[in-house]
């Protein structure tokens, strides 16, 4: 089959990734749109993923393995799996409604630091090298700050290692835990959990919405099977990964006839 035909045939297929996340993850906490974070918390369906984007995600995971191997070959001690579960080390908060999964920890000068690995194209990699992660990639900075905060002083420094996908060059940055910044992230979580999340845009044509995986549910509310976590009347419990119905003032266990689809506040 000619390459062009292959590209056209494969490139148009959309992939359903199955059940979406139902928690606030560290990787999304830096998103400026709190409505997006709320949709993730409540487990609203994602838009189908194009194969090209899925290949980018898959490549990113493979690059993580390459980076960890290179660091170990260079003599660094790295913990990238929880010895009890065999999975990535995870931290959680708010009864499990907030969760963070680590790429690993790296031992430097007798201190275990958070290790976060990212792959970047040449333009983004150069910006990271020139300006630092807080300026070049504020979402990555927020992700690391949240993970350090959730570790409850287990880690007070983070190392972000960036792999240049164009040249295979590395660049890394070490930065400290910022308690005040972390408190701002906690405030954002509070707003989302208490149904104060707000859309960032006034139109689906806004550039910030174009690549959003929750664009459809945000601008074209879907017909869904009633579930308590999808209901406007529900809020997440702080002590366990369950929901509370504010309409009936009791634990939200089963959907009822008063189900009303959750919607975030409109953009200001």
Is the whole model's pTM more than 0.95, yes or no?
no
Q: What is the CATH number of domain 57-188?
A: 3.90.320.10
If you write DSSP's letter for every residue of 164-175 in order, what string do you get? ETTT--EEEEEE
Model pLDDT, residue 17: 53
pLDDT, tens digit (0-9, with 9 covering 90-100), for 147-169: 999 998 789 999 999 999 999 99
**With contact defined as beta carbons under 8 Å apart, do 224 and 217 qualify?**
no
Give dist(CA 139, CA 30) in Å, integer. Answer: 4
Q: Name which of 62, 71, 74, 137 is nearest 104 in CA terms.
A: 71
pLDDT at 4 exceeding the cut of 60: no
Please say if the pLDDT value at position 12 is more than 70: no
Q: What is the pLDDT of residues 179-196, one digit of tens each?
A: 999 999 999 999 999 999
CB atoms near residue 148 (< 10 Å): 27
Return the domain boundaries, the chain. Answer: 57-188
Question: Mean pLDDT across the stretch 132-148?
Answer: 98
The pLDDT tens digits for 97-114 are 999 999 999 999 999 999
pLDDT at residue 86 tops 80: no
Q: Give the confidence band of 19 by pLDDT, cuts at 50, 70, 90.
A: low
Q: Say if residue 16's pLDDT is above 70.
A: no
Q: How many CA atoms lie within 13 A of 227 on its CB side?
A: 11
| Mean of all residue pLDDT scores within the chain | 91
Nearest to 200 by CA among 21, 27, 35: 35
């Amino acid at each position: 089959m000619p390459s062009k035909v292959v590209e056209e045939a494969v490139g148009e297929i959309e992939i359903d990734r199955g059940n979406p996340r139902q928690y606030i993850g560290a990787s999304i906490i830096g998103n400026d749109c709190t409505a997006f974070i709320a949709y993730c918390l409540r487990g609203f369906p994602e838009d189908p993923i194009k194969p090209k984007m899925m290949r980018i995600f898959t490549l990113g995971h493979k690059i993580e393995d390459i980076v960890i191997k290179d660091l170990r070959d260079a003599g660094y001690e790295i913990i990238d799996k929880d010895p009890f579960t065999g999975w990535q080390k995870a931290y959680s908060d708010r009864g499990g409604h907030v969760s963070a999964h680590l790429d690993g920890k790296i031992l430097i000068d007798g201190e275990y630091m958070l290790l976060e690995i990212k792959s970047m194209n040449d333009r983004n990699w150069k910006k990271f090298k020139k300006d630092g992660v807080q300026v070049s990639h504020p979402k990555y900075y927020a992700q690391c700050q949240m993970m350090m905060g959730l570790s409850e002083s287990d880690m007070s420094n983070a190392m972000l290692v960036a792999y240049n996908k164009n040249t295979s060059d590395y660049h890394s940055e070490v930065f400290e835990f910022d308690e005040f910044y972390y408190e701002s992230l906690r405030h954002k979580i509070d707003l989302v959990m208490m149904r104060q999340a707000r859309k960032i845009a006034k139109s689906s044509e806004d550039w910030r919405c174009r690549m959003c995986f929750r664009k459809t549910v945000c601008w074209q509310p879907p017909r869904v099977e009633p579930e308590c976590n999808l209901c406007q009347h529900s809020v997440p419990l702080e002590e366990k990964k369950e929901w509370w119905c504010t309409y009936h003032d009791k634990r939200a266990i089963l959907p009822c006839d008063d189900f009303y689809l959750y919607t975030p506040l409109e953009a200001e």
